[in-house]
């Protein structure tokens, strides 16, 4: 006889995130009335140690064989609760999560009654599915101990060196003909005063001499197949294709610089951007008369809402360089907010003021007007227009996402943000990881960063990447596609063509052509199961029966 | 930390593990001890705004989920009285009043200093009257007020009204005691207090005079209680909020540096307050509004367009209090070039992120240098390295930064430490 289904439901207040907007007591009472539910508990925080102890205790004391938690998002908390079930002696995949926060209380903050009713629907559906869950075993996979780092700027070189110093083999791929990235265009770095090119040279030398690093310049990545532990990379070096396997990938592809064509009379001669100024500063004799810098040129506007973080500091650094070169150089910085965050930056801002750099706040609704020999600006604080003499206008333009970001994001199947910078896995908790396992990011590819920040992030990304490398094997979630009805499969290959992860292949068997699943590559998206008209494929924990039961629970309260 | 010796790859560290008077291996975190503990103490985690028991867990999600006795507050341990209630109710037998501090010796290859920071105490700024006006709070205190597990369960009750509540509670307690005594007298002598008061007016012996005095005191108390109750009933949650930036930062009297994260936490707190109550309107007084991370500028703009936030450029000169205990903010609007005073329900001070008070002691112990601000000194090109080989630092211990940057730096520091301590496993 089949085992009796005994479901425990834990309803989380999430502090006030849920309890503040839904009637949690009522939800708990309601859960008690659902089929197979033998135990219900409301917690202030189910994810706290106390909450998980209660789950573990209930599994034992109430003889639970299914657990449902109605709380926040599976993105961050499903692994935690699965782990708790495992510790409590239950197969972790006999757990079902119901999202009554992100998908309910947060979107129905003003509709307590309706929100509570919706949460009841969600819990009922979760319980219905839980009754049909089956135990699963994790899939083990080996990790190739080689890393690929994309981009050989300061971030990429730092990350590559950190991994190589720990003994891992690194392939460092750079699309241009030399290493160093943006550093090559800069003059000096603040506050160290070090020459940017020499920093790039120093790193290039260490990279070049390191026995564990293979540097491929003038090389693009054409194709990436596979998954964590086994990424198959195809490169193209000046038309010659080559390939290798890597266990992990770090994206350090940097960012581009906006050429402010059409803004503030930009001409690259008398009106230039900060990068062009740095190029001129490399010549010791360069010393213009009066310089006006305009911040947020092409940033914090309708087209590009974001603040590019570092441009204020670039302007301040260059203003100091001009003043130190010739104290009589007039330097005026027209700004909206001076973004001199932190200790070092604020100190440089103060130093610039002490050296006589003038900071003038402007209102974006009345932007500065660049004219022959002058810049006209409405001084927000004086309340009148000023006419500032200028021999050179320097525009502080934002860093923009690299041209290749969309291509790379497709190759790696990782996300970009609305400005086309690479998007990390979790803004607070996983700042250096992608949502895709085994792929990490750092530096300007993520968001504009100072050299100090880029170095710090690169070391961090290397640290994250070294975790699977040092473990050697990894355990993959068994929520993957399975050929549940081999007889039914006709080997048509429709699923293979549609699988976005290359996780299916057609093999010849005694019974003819049949599909085969490569479980470690499978992400459990379900495209194959939805496509297969023979219903031969099914995704574990999302079987047709389970989903059908959920839908019917929704329709029949 | 008691002692550190040795060098990179081979440090010897002695650590003092303080007694918690609870056996960590036995405690299940059930909390019956705290439920029954008779002693109340100030809740430090809730920025002193709430109260907790003398046996406590620092905050609900704390790890490990184990209770601790606040020894100086505890009747048994700190005050030499007989109590022992927690030991009696603990079914796990985890309470250990005899527990002593222990010294743990560690042999390590690398050290990471992640000792964090402290929040600037704004009471030294006379013009903001933080210690005189109840409804002027720090951002961290406000954060606790907004929190569901905080002292007001997330409702924006004003500290002045919380004080009122406390006052009412105290008077009520005293009145109850007095009432009991008077009732006993009435029963014993079989007459009413009113008649005693009347008789005393015409002269009487000491016992009766005392009785009358007590009865009259009770009447006064009841009257003031009614008055306070009326005020409490009329109390409104805070709806008009002022956030003041750079309190103790970018201020040459205190700290010259920028604390980096406070602009965003003020925007965030104003957003959360609005989400809690859509009638909330906030003004953020700032010099520069530094929204420099991914999505920050967009978040700031959304605060302005959808969450009732006004960003006002101007440094607040002074805060007074009006009769209704509302803070009155005096400032110069630099964009309209006028001196303005405006009444708010509450003022929230975005206090500076300052070096932890133990930083100089830690620096001395570990022989690492501090920077001119008192944070652990790092090299711009090796941002996790302290001045001593094998010792690294991350997070706000090296300077103010936000959560993502701290989390990223923690991984970076681990990478540096790993380079020292572990020749790679399974490397090529």
B407 and A307: CB-CB below 8 Å? Answer: no
**A-B C-beta contacts closer than 8 Å:** 199
CA torsion angle for A452, A457, A459, A464 (degrees, to 10)? 170
- B303 CB within 8 Å of a chain A CB: no
Rounded average pLDDT over B63-90: 91
Mean pLDDT of A47-72: 94
DSSP H helical segments within A97-191, as ranges?
A: 112-130, 154-165
Residue B382 contacts A, CB cutoff 8 Å: yes
CA atoms within 13 A on the CB side of B238: 34
Q: Does A305 touch chain B (CB under 8 A)?
A: yes
pLDDT at B426 (0 to 100): 47
What pLDDT is stored for residue B424 in this prediction?
47
Pairing state of beta strands B353-355 and B117-119?
A: antiparallel
Q: Which of A337, A347, A461, A462 to mutate to test the interface with B (most CBs of B within 10 A)?
A: A337
pLDDT beyond 50 at A277: yes
Q: Judging by beta carbons within 10 Å of its beta carbon (0-12, 13-18, 19+), is residue A186 exposed, middle or buried?
A: buried
Please name which of B308, B36, B410 lies closest in space to residue A428, comparing C-alpha atoms. B410
Residues A271-280: b if buried by 16+ CB within 10 A, e if exposed:
bbbbbbbbeb
Return the higher-pLDDT residue of A272 and B208. A272
From A496, A226, A168, A469, select the one nearest B427 (Cα to Cα).
A168
Q: Which two tokens stand for residue B417?
A: 């430490």
pLDDT of A258 higher than 70: yes
Is there a contact between B148 and A15 if contact means CB atoms under 8 Å apart?
A: yes
- The beta-carbon neighbor of B415 closest among A109, A343, A462 is A462
* Lowest model confidence (mean pLDDT) among A42-56, A300-314, B250-264: A42-56
Tell me the shortest Cα–Cα distance from A545 to chain B, in angstroms: 38
Report helix angle A274-281 to A311-325, nearest 10: 30
pLDDT band at residue B106 under the 50/70/90 scheme:
very high
**CB-based contact B418 A466, cutoff 8 Å:** yes
- Rounded to whole angstroms, how far apart are CA atoms A402 and A422? 10
Q: pTM surpassing 0.80?
A: yes
A525 φ, ψ (degrees, to nearest 5): -70, -25
Residue pair A507/A446 in contact (Cβ under 8 Å)? The answer is: no
Res B428 pLDDT > 70: no
What is the share, in percent, of chain B residues with pLDDT greater than 90? Answer: 73
- Structure-derived torsion over alpha carbons of residues A181, A187, A188, A190, reported in degrees to the nearest 10: -80
Kindly determine whether residue B295 and residue A169, on different chains, have CB atoms separated by under 8 Å: no
Closest chain A CA to residue B426 = A470
Work out the minimum CA distance from B5 to partner chain A, whole angstroms.
Answer: 26
Structural domains of chain A, ranges and CATH numbers in brackets? 7-136 (3.40.50), 146-256+400-473 (3.50.50.60), 259-397 (3.50.50.60), 481-540 (3.30.70.20)
pLDDT of B423 reads: 61
| Average pLDDT across chain A, whole number | 94
The burial of A499, by beta-carbon neighbours within 10 Å (0-12 exposed, 13-18 middle, 19 or more buried), is given as buried
Give the pLDDT confidence of A479-514 residue by residue, as tens digits. 999 999 999 999 999 999 998 777 898 999 999 999
Q: Does B424 touch chain A (CB under 8 A)?
A: yes
* Among A201, A185, A160, A133, residue whose Cα is nearest residue A465: A160
- Would an 8 Å CB–CB cutoff place A396 in contact with chain B? no
Residues 55-114, chain B, touching A (beta carbon < 8 A): 60-65
8 A C-beta contact, residue B136 and residue B319? yes
pLDDT at A188: 93
Q: Which residues of B touch A456 (CB under 8 A)?
A: 383-384, 405, 408-409, 412
B352: closest chain A residue by CA: A342
pLDDT at B59 over 70: yes
- Report d(CA B51, CA B188) in Å as an integer: 39
Q: What is the share, in percent, of chain A residues with pLDDT greater than 90?
A: 86
List, as ranges, residues 237-266 from B with C-beta within 8 Å of A. Answer: 250, 256-258, 260
Q: Is the dihedral of CA B296, B297, B302, B303 positive or negative?
A: positive
What is the rounded distance in angstroms from the CA atom of residue B168 to the CA atom of residue B151? 17
* Residue-level pLDDT at B168: 93
In angstroms, what CA-CA distances link A81 with A30, A71, A84, A430?
22, 11, 5, 19
A14, closest residue in chain B (CA to CA): B148
Which residues have a Cβ under 8 Å from the Cβ of A537 and sit 6 or more positions away?
Answer: A481, A482, A483, A484, A489, A495, A515, A517, A528, A529
- Which two three-digit tokens encode residue A543? 């079987």
Nearest residue on chain A to B421, judged by CA atoms? A166
Encode A399-431 in three state secondary structure.
EEECCCHHHHHHHHCCCECCCCCECCCECCCEC
Q: For residue A145, give the nearest of B297, B422, B426 by CB distance.
A: B426
Average pLDDT, chain B: 92
CB A247 within 8 A of CB A226: no
Residues of chain A positioned with their CB less than 8 A from the CB of B250:
346
pLDDT at B62: 79
> Residue B239, Cβ neighbours under 10 Å: how many?
18
Reduced to 3 states, what is the DSSP secondary structure of residue B265?
helix
- Identify all chain A residues contacting B411, using CB atoms and an 8 Å cutoff: 432, 459-461, 463-464
Consecutive H or E run containing B213? helix B206-234
pLDDT of residue B419: 87
């Amino acid at each position: 006889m089949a085992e009796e289904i005994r479901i425990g439901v834990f309803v989380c207040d999430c502090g006030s995130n849920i309890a503040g907007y839904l009637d949690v007591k009522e939800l708990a009472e309601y859960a008690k009335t659902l089929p197979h539910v033998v135990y219900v508990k409301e917690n202030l925080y189910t994810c706290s140690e106390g909450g998980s102890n209660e789950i573990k205790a209930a599994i034992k004391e109430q003889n639970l064989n299914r657990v449902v938690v109605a709380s926040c998002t599976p993105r961050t908390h499903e692994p935690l609760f699965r782990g708790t079930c495992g510790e409590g002696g239950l197969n972790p995949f006999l757990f079902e999560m119901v999202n009554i926060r992100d998908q309910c209380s947060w979107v129905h903050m003003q509709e307590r009654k309706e929100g509570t009713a919706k949460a009841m629907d969600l819990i009922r559906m979760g319980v219905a599915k839980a009754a049909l869950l089956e135990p699963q075993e994790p899939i083990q996979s080996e990790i190739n101990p080689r890393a690929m780092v994309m981009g050989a700027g300061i971030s990429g070189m730092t990350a590559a060196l950190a991994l190589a110093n720990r003994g891992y083999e690194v392939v460092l791929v750079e699309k241009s003909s030399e290493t160093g990235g943006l550093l090559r265009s800069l003059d000096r770095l603040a506050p160290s005063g070090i020459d940017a090119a020499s920093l790039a040279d120093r790193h290039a030398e260490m990279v070049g001499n390191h026995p564990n690093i293979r540097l491929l310049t003038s090389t693009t990545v054409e194709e990436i197949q596979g998954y964590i532990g086994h990424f198959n990379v195809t490169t193209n070096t000046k038309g010659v294709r080559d390939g290798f396997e890597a266990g992990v990938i770090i994206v350090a592809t940097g960012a581009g610089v906006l050429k402010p064509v059409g803004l503030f009379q930009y001409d690259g001669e008398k009106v230039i951007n900060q990068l062009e100024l740095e190029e001129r500063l490399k010549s010791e004799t360069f010393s213009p008369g009066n310089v006006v810098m305009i911040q947020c040129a092409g940033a914090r506007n309708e087209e590009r809402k974001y603040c590019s973080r570092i441009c204020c500091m670039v302007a301040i650094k260059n203003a100091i360089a001009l003043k130190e070169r010739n104290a009589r150089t007039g330097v005026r910085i027209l700004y909206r907010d001076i973004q001199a965050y932190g200790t070092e930056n604020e100190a440089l801002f103060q130093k610039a003021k002490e050296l006589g750099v003038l900071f003038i706040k402007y209102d974006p609704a009345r932007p500065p007007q660049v004219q022959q020999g002058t810049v006209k600006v409405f001084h927000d604080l004086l309340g009148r227009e000023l006419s500032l003499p200028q021999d050179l206008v320097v525009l502080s333009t934002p860093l923009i996402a690299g041209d290749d970001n969309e291509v790379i994001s497709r190759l790696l199947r990782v996300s970009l943000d609305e400005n086309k910078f690479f998007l990390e896995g979790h803004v607070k908790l996983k700042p250096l990881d992608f949502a895709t396992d085994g792929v990490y990011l750092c530096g300007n590819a993520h968001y504009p960063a100072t050299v100090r920040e880029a170095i710090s992030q690169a070391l961090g990304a290397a640290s994250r990447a070294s975790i699977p490398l040092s473990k050697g094997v990894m355990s993959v979630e068994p929520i993957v596609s399975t050929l549940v009805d081999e007889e039914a499969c006709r080997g048509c290959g429709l699923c293979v063509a549609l699988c976005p992860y290359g996780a299916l292949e057609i093999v010849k068997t005694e019974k003819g052509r049949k599909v085969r699943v490569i479980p470690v590559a499978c992400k459990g998206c379900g495209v194959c199961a939805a496509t297969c008209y023979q219903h031969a494929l099914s995704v574990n924990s999302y079987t047709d029966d389970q989903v059908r039961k959920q839908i019917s629970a929704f329709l029949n309260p | 930390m008691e002692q550190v010796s040795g060098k990179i790859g081979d440090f010897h560290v002695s650590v003092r593990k303080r007694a918690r008077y609870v056996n960590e291996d036995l405690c299940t975190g059930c909390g019956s001890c705290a439920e029954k503990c008779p002693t109340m103490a100030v809740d430090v985690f809730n920025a002193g705004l709430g109260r907790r028991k003398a046996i406590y867990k620092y905050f609900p999600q704390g790890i490990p989920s184990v209770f601790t006795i606040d020894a100086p507050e505890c009747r048994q341990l700190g005050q030499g009285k007989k109590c022992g209630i927690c030991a009696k109710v603990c079914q796990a037998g985890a309470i250990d009043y005899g527990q002593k501090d222990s010294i743990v010796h560690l042999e390590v290859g690398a050290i990471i200093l992640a000792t964090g920071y402290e929040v600037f105490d704004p009471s030294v700024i006379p013009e903001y009257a933080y210690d005189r006006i109840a409804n002027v709070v720090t951002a961290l205190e406000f954060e606790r007020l907004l929190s569901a597990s905080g002292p007001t369960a997330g409702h924006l009750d004003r500290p002045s009204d919380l004080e009122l509540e406390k006052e009412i509670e105290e008077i009520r307690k005293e009145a109850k005691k007095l009432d009991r005594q008077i009732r006993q007298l009435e029963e014993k002598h079989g007459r009413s207090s009113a008649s005693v008061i009347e008789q005393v007016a015409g002269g009487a012996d000491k016992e009766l005079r005392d009785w009358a005095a007590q009865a009259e005191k009770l009447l006064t108390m009841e009257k003031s209680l009614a008055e306070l109750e009326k005020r409490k009933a009329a109390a409104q949650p805070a709806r008009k909020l002022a956030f003041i930036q750079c309190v103790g930062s970018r201020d040459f009297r205190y700290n010259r540096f920028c604390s980096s994260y406070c602009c965003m936490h003020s925007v965030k707190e104003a957003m959360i307050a609005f989400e809690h109550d859509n009638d909330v309107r906030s003004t953020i007084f700032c010099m520069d509004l530094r929204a420099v991370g991914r999505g920050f500028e967009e978040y700031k703009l959304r605060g302005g367009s959808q969450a009732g936030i006004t960003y006002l450029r101007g440094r607040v000169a002074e805060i007074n209090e009006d009769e209704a205990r509302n803070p009155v903010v005096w400032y110069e609007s630099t964009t309209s070039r006028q001196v303005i005073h405006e009444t708010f329900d509450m003022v929230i001070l975005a206090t500076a992120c300052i070096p932890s008070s133990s930083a100089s002691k830690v620096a001395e112990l570990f022989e690492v240098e501090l920077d001119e601000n008192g944070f652990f000194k790092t090299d711009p090109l090796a941002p996790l390295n302290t001045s001593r080989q094998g010792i690294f630092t991350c997070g706000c211990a090296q300077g103010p930064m936000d959560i993502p940057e701290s989390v990223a730096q923690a991984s970076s520091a681990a990478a540096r430490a790993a380079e020292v301590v572990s020749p790679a496993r399974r490397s090529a």
